[in-house]
Amino acid sequence: MRVRLAATLQELQPYNIIVAMKIGRESGIACLLVLLCCLGCRTNTSRSTIAVIPRDSAEEIWVSEHGGAVDAAFRHHLKIYWNGPTRDDEVEQQIALCEKVIAGRYYGLILSPNNSFALNTTIERAVESGIPVVIVGAPIPISARRGLTFVLNDAEEMGTLAAERARTILGGKGRIIILGADALSPGSVERSNAFEKALQREAPGITIEEKLAGSLSFGEAELASEQDIHAFSGRTVIFALGPNETEGAAAAVRNTGTSNRISIIGCDQTLDLLFLLRHRKIDSLLVENTRDMGNLAVKEIIAEKQGKLVSPRTLVDPVLVTRENIDQEAIQRILSLRWRPRNE
């Protein structure tokens, strides 16, 4: 603190000089104490906070995960820091958020990577820093160990549910088009492979006519679906592996006026897809139970911090949502966008 003097130093009495010096010294000490206090508060806060970083903070499926994590954290007097990219292809933003968590020495990290490979090094750094990490949703090519576990959607069960629904729609005979198997999108290829395997087991009379791989935008999915609809006659099911693919397929069916022979089984919950389901534009939706995943992930981090043994891999069952069951209490609980804490 600088004190402006009204007279020259020669005119000041000795005791005035001492007072001025004391004021400056005490002010500097006070500022330093305030700064240290602020830094300490920030550190203490982050060390009682679990960071939850979804693939896409704008998608409803991850808002449900947020709610499950908040409920579990609230019961254990912990806080949740929830933040993520606004698109599921913003890998650099996800990495930057993880680096912030590492630097802040958070209590734990719950992460749903939006790329199968790009975040592996960052995940390793978090574990080496002593931050427990739980990967939620879909597997990535990194091994579970102490401090790194997985809470995953059961892709095999999802494939079985989709195959059984396709068999019901087609009566055991017909064609399948698969949209959107992307090797860089965690969980996409696993869904596709599980569906094909289950279809061979559950309905060998149904054939897969087309399998369009890669990441598809809404427009690309719409165009590809229209081309296939024109190419194949007869009863057909489109199995769309993500929201873009599902919405694109629905638009193609509307454009071609073929809802009488084309049915769509989609994946993942968004408000738009639930609207299409209620209005009979798609047959059904396969939904991940991200609410339970978020809840379980928080519990695993707490157990890890307490030195308890944690299962390296936990599978959570998906559900098939139809117009007939969408308003059931169990389904609505999974779809709920409530994220404020509730001590259940």
In a domain, 340, yes or no: no
The reply to whether 140 and 164 lie within a common domain is no
In a domain, 339, yes or no: no
Cβ atoms within 10 A of the Cβ of 140, count?
Answer: 19
The reply to whether 147 and 293 lie within a common domain is yes
Tokens representing residue 170 in the block: 């087609």
Give the DSSP letter of residue 54. Answer: -
The reply to whether 107 and 211 lie within a common domain is no
The count of domains in the chain is 3
Paired with 49 in beta bridges are: 79
The reply to whether 312 and 254 lie within a common domain is no
The reply to whether 64 and 22 lie within a common domain is no
Helices and strands: H and E segment counts in the chain: 11, 12
Distance CA 158, CA 195 (A): 7
The reply to whether 141 and 100 lie within a common domain is yes
- Looking up residue 218, the CATH number of its domain turns out to be 3.40.50.2300
Tokens representing residue 267 in the block: 């994946």
Q: Burial of 321 by CB count in 10 Å (0-12 exposed, 13-18 middle, 19+ buried)?
A: buried
In a domain, 336, yes or no: no
> Residue 24: which domain range?
9-44
Paired with 316 in beta bridges are: 153
In a domain, 3, yes or no: no
Burial pattern 95-118, b for ≥16 Cβ within 10 A else e, equals bebbeebbebebbbbbbbbbbbee
In a domain, 342, yes or no: no
pLDDT value of residue 16: 43
Distance CA 288, CA 187 (A): 11
In a domain, 277, yes or no: no
**In which residue are the tokens 């992307």 written?**
182
Residues 242 and 265 sit within 8 Å (Cβ to Cβ): no
In a domain, 325, yes or no: no
The reply to whether 144 and 192 lie within a common domain is no
The reply to whether 52 and 118 lie within a common domain is yes
pLDDT in tens, the chain (344 residues): 333 333 333 433 443 433 343 444 444 444 444 443 444 444 467 789 999 999 999 899 999 999 999 999 999 999 999 999 988 889 999 999 999 999 999 999 999 999 999 999 999 999 999 999 999 999 999 999 999 999 999 999 999 999 999 999 999 999 999 999 998 889 999 999 999 999 999 999 999 999 988 878 999 999 999 999 999 989 999 999 999 999 999 999 999 999 999 999 999 999 999 999 999 999 999 999 999 999 999 999 999 999 999 999 999 999 999 999 999 999 999 999 988 886 55
The reply to whether 146 and 180 lie within a common domain is no
- In 3D, which of 98, 66, 103, 58 has the Cα closest to residue 82? 66
The reply to whether 111 and 163 lie within a common domain is no
The reply to whether 80 and 226 lie within a common domain is no
pLDDT value of residue 41: 45
In a domain, 72, yes or no: yes
The reply to whether 167 and 180 lie within a common domain is yes
